[in-house]
Structure 1
């Protein structure tokens, strides 16, 4: 009478391991979605390495400021 009991235990173990096998999910490879971020071609404003290109520009401004700090009153006053 031990044969049906061992058969039942074997079936139960096989059933339990089938869930363990299906629980192993394959991690999708999404790296191809980020190819444009990794392999930049560059343009006229920035090169592929991030250095300024031939038509790079930036705003510039020159200001003449006169400012005084008052440590006792914790204030800053000034003129432009």
Structure 2
């Protein structure tokens, strides 16, 4: 099975975050990484994905990226 990956260029990231109502929350330090609970910033944001009707966000720490990969494989996302 092949996984489908949607990518967003840095230039479009702000618009995407605005459309998901995440930009202000990230700027205010209100969003945490799904896996490490680290506060997400525009500098450490790695991934955004839908899960059970909500949007989950992942930081760029090696631990979080590894957990995301395992999560995707486990859930067949």
Q: TM-score, normalized by length of structure 1?
A: 0.18
Q: Which has the higher contact order (CA 8 A, sep 6+)?
A: 2
Q: Between Structure 1 and Structure 2, whose CA radius of gyration is higher?
A: 1
Q: TM-score, normalized by length of structure 2?
A: 0.18
